[in-house]
Structure 1
Amino acid sequence: MLDTLTHALRKSADRPAVLGTARNGSVRVKATCGELADLADRYAAALHARGVARGSTVGVAVRPGPRALAVMLAVHRLGARAAVLDPGAGPDVLRARLALARPDVVLADAAAQAVAGWARPLARRARLALPDLAALGPVATVGPRLPGCAQELETGVRSVVLPRPVDEDGDAVIVFTSGTTSRPRAVVHTRSSLAAGMATVTGLVRVEAERPVLGGTFFVLVPSLAHGAPVALPARSPRVLARQLRRLDPQATYLTPPQLRTLLAAGARFTGRVWTGSAPASADLLTRVKQAGAQEAWGVYALTELFPAAAVEQADKAAFTGGGDLVGAPLPGVAARTDAAGELLLSGPAARDRYLGEEPDPWVATGDRAHLAGGRIVLQGRLKDMVLRHAENIYPGLYEPALHVPGVELALLVGVPAGDGDERLVAVVQPGPGADRAALRAALTGPLERMGSARPDAVLLADIPLSGRSRKPDRAATARLAAARLAERDRG
């Protein structure tokens, strides 16, 4: 698919590729197909000049858009693999992930490096935090460089002769998921598994050439551009995004459930087919999207390990009367079964090859309890402790150790339902005997600030329920306790 995209970009150099939107909703071209192809070539030459080749690892901390896509195309051409880095995870987590991936070079835009000087307020607003540059190893800036950033990636070198594009399978991308700071975990996709996933997206969405698509993820950009459809990056403001929808009249729209809810609250109207995922999408939400003009409204069930796995349209979801959450039939090539504990296991060509540092395994353990009803997947809750907030997966085990400051006996991060599948993240901290609570809250300030986008919505000081013969902390009971305490606080 990436090779198909590269060919398509060169074939239609003047055609708009990536579209942006002004605050009044007017559409502008951020990059043409030719500009995107040229940028990918210059990045490939610059990386090749730095010694990046087949088997190398390139860390990528670049916001979605033309630069990020050009970086991925350059890395793909050289046969290297991209380690996707999330600066919002906090410096401690990110440092552990870098130690696992061991990139030969890190490419970062200015926002990801805004950690010092006058840019510090920008970093706080964007909830970004990187370790000191020296701790990252070789770093190069892509895009505009701000004071304090690393040197720019040198893209003006014309004397570099690029090798022939790599045309065989191998590692393509590393995406970090769960784990801890002492033992992070990362998903490794190969070139073939990425291609299979993007082919599945293409067959599911049925992109038409020339008509715009609205979305910002890699799995939206690549299939759409490869089939001749320009892609508009979603505006951050709900009001501007609503104007964007009205001006673009997109054939397909990809947004998360939180984005859809804010758009509906802003009175937005939809056209074409709307797709949503990354968080549970209720039948009610999909119904409201269709009532707001969408021809079809789809919920997509996907994992970092296998994208996409299943999909369901609003009409089928609304008609389902059984218990649990219907997420649809497995998509072509996806095999599904449950184990003795009821955990959903998935396999297929688009499944990840392995976790970094582990042996390959054809079956993906989803962490979801489920059953198969008439060949369709019905979820019955999560087995793992992940909390889902604003379409972001937050793994408590990454951050709980940092909450154990002096005076803390136990600390858990739990999710409390916030309506329509979303959750509030709550830190429940049990003070030790005789601990000064005011001093304890003060001591937690630093660790909480270092949690980046995983910072809790609330911190409660309370005794954590225990269960079982070993008297382990009971997460479910702690979540119920947190929900009750927050309800009392809201009423008060």
Structure 2
Amino acid sequence: MLTELIDGLRPGDPRPALPGATRGELAELVRGYAVALAHLDPGDTIALAVRPGPRSLATLLAAYHLGLRVAVLDPTAGPDVLRARLALAAPRLVLADAAAQAVAGWAARLARRAHLALPELGAIAPVRTIGRRLPGSPPALRPLPGRLPRPYEGEGDSVIVFTSGTTTRPRAVVHTRRSISAGMTAVRDLVRPEPDVPVVGGTFFVLLPSLASGAPVAFPSRRSLARQLRELRPQATYLTPPQVRNALAAGTRFTGRVYSGSAPVSAALLRSVRRSGASEAWGVYALTEVFPAAAVEESEKSAFTGEGDLVGRLLPGVTARVSPDASAVAGAAAAAASGELLLGGPTAADRYLGEEPFEWVATGDIGRVLDDRSVVLGGRAKDMILRRAENIYPGLYEPSLHVPGVELALLVGVPAGDGDERVVAVVQKADGATEREVRAALREPLARMGSARPDEVVFDRIPLAGRSRKPDRRATAALAARR
């Protein structure tokens, strides 16, 4: 699909592509950045810290055209986590816009208040500036004139997306050219975008299939989504559940089809979307490792009366089984058994960076697969906390909580309603330490946790379990909920 999109962009095409660029202007940017990056070899890694927009999209498409691998930088993860992640990815080049450079440099202290932070980028690899260059910034990577280089036609890695792990052993999902294209084809077939009618969505997995189908894309407005949807009347809108809830609270009226994912989507939320004007309201089940996996429309989800959360039918090509019962394969009558849900298929990532390829992707979700290929979830098996549609992995941040005066510390999630959670740090003081002293010592580590910063810090003894007397996360989460 990405090759089709690049080939379909024509210089001079006046039709809108996304805010700030026509399809013709996007074509020129893709060609120019491909020429500028042509000195790199297929398989080389570039790290990308550029805000969503025409230039970040053009850079991504140019990298795909050349067979390069893109490591996506998330400035909300905190500088310590990002430094470890970049050491694992080992990019040959870092591409950053002025905002990312400010977060890593002169505006770092101010940015941390907004939970944004990047390590000093120049210490990792050579840096080039994308877009507007400020005084003192690294040299600009400017789109260069010339013919579009020959496309890379082989297979290989395409995108690195960092997820869980620890600061000493970060974990990154590696999608190949094949899995990225398959995932975007699955989104296109689900969303069914028509040419020249707007689509509203903020992720590349929504943006690229829409553009490939000839539909212009607008990023969801942070200030006035209701007004944006009223003026654009999009054929399809993709929002996270928190964005949907905020939109409904503001009295937003929807048009066309609405899709929501990245966090649990309740039947009640989808019904509210339908009542607010949407012709269809879909919940999408997806992971970083498998995007997308399943989808369900409001009418089917509302009609489900069984136990658990119906997240929909597996999309074409996606396969599933339940561990440890290897016989519970999607489509088989035995697939009603519950256990950890394992997924596979063309939209699945290849591996975690530095590890062996997946046989199956372990979702960390407890679930079962019905004989019509429908997936029903019954909670999470892994430690991940889900807040405002963002995955927070405790193991990444808990080591930083063990400052002098702290004997033990855990990050746990406390239900906040409709699938969302609050993040709570439960801290067990060492003998002789005071709460005031520990809070003072935690001030800087908490500031460096970025968007994972806990909503509350609770001081209490952490429950232990098992022969090894390991911290009991479930009991600690229950303790935090009571507190």
Normalized against structure 1, the TM-score is what? 0.93
Which one-letter code corresponds to 1:90 in the other structure? G
Counterpart among 338, 345, 349 of residue 352 in structure 1: 349
Which one-letter code corresponds to 1:325 in the other structure? D
Report the CA distance between 1:298 and its aligned residue. 0.3
Counterpart among 81, 90, 101 of residue 102 in structure 1: 90
Tell me the residue number matched to 2:274: 290
Counterpart among 332, 340, 343 of residue 340 in structure 2: 343
CA contact (8 A) 1:407 1:440 kept: yes
Q: Distance in 2 between matches of 1:142 and 1:93?
A: 23
Q: Secondary structure at the match of 1:401?
A: helix
CA contact (8 A) 1:320 1:326 kept: yes
CA contact (8 A) 1:311 1:331 kept: yes
**1:405-427 superposed Cα distances (whole Å, 9 cap, x missing partner):** 01100000001111111111111
Q: Distance in 2 between matches of 1:452 and 1:118?
A: 17
Q: Secondary structure at the match of 2:37?
A: helix
Runs (5+) with no aligned partner, structure 2: 326-338
Change (3 A) 1:13 1:75: same
Tell me the residue number matched to 1:396: 394
**1:138-168 superposed Cα distances (whole Å, 9 cap, x missing partner):** 111112233453332233x43x665311112
Tell me the residue number matched to 2:328: none
Q: Distance in 1 between matches of 2:108 and 2:165?
A: 29
Q: Distance in 2 between matches of 1:65 and 1:203?
A: 24
1:29-48 aligned at under 5 Å gives the runs 30-48=20-38
Which one-letter code corresponds to 2:25 in the other structure? E
Counterpart among 323, 347, 369 of residue 307 in structure 2: 323
CA contact (8 A) 2:289 2:361 kept: yes
Tell me the residue number matched to 1:114: 102
Q: Distance in 1 between matches of 2:90 and 2:147?
A: 26
Report the CA distance between 1:134 and its aligned residue. 3.1
Which one-letter code corresponds to 1:229 in the other structure? A
Tell me the residue number matched to 1:153: 141
Alignment of 1:372 onto 2:351: no
Counterpart among 441, 444, 451 of residue 442 in structure 2: 444
Which one-letter code corresponds to 1:231 in the other structure? V
Tell me the residue number matched to 2:121: 133
Tell me the residue number matched to 1:232: 218
Tell me the residue number matched to 1:87: 75
Tell me the residue number matched to 2:179: 193
CA contact (8 A) 1:116 1:148 kept: no
Sequence identity (%) = 68
Report the CA distance between 1:8 and its aligned residue. 2.1
Moved more, 227-236 or 125-134: 125-134
CA contact (8 A) 1:111 1:123 kept: no
Q: Secondary structure at the match of 1:349?
A: coil
Tell me the residue number matched to 1:204: 190
Counterpart among 203, 209, 234 of residue 223 in structure 1: 209
Equivalenced residue count is 469
CA contact (8 A) 1:351 1:362 kept: no
Moved more, 336-345 or 402-411: 336-345
Moved more, 453-462 or 267-276: 453-462
Which one-letter code corresponds to 2:482 in the other structure? A
In the TM superposition, structure 1's runs of 4+ consecutive aligned residues that sit over 4 Å from their partners are none
Q: Distance in 2 between matches of 1:125 and 1:213?
A: 33
Which one-letter code corresponds to 1:31 in the other structure? A
Tell me the residue number matched to 2:318: 334
Alignment of 1:76 onto 2:73: no
Tell me the residue number matched to 1:306: 290
Counterpart among 364, 367, 380 of residue 382 in structure 1: 380
Change (3 A) 1:316 1:357: same
Which one-letter code corresponds to 1:184 in the other structure? P
Report the CA distance between 1:340 and its aligned residue. 1.9
Report the CA distance between 1:379 and its aligned residue. 0.5
Which one-letter code corresponds to 1:14 in the other structure? P
Normalized against structure 2, the TM-score is what? 0.94
Q: Distance in 1 between matches of 2:183 and 2:432?
A: 55
Alignment of 1:275 onto 2:265: no
Tell me the residue number matched to 1:252: 236
CA contact (8 A) 2:285 2:311 kept: yes
1:398-477 aligned at under 5 Å gives the runs 398-477=396-475
Q: Distance in 1 between matches of 2:222 and 2:160?
A: 27
Which one-letter code corresponds to 1:368 in the other structure? D
Q: Distance in 1 between matches of 2:266 and 2:57?
A: 31
Which one-letter code corresponds to 1:6 in the other structure? I
Report the CA distance between 1:53 and its aligned residue. 2.1
Which one-letter code corresponds to 1:348 in the other structure? G
Runs (5+) with no aligned partner, structure 1: 20-29, 486-492
Moved more, 182-191 or 7-16: 7-16
Change (3 A) 1:135 1:415: same
Report the CA distance between 1:121 and its aligned residue. 6.2
Which one-letter code corresponds to 1:329 in the other structure? R
CA-based RMSD: 1.5
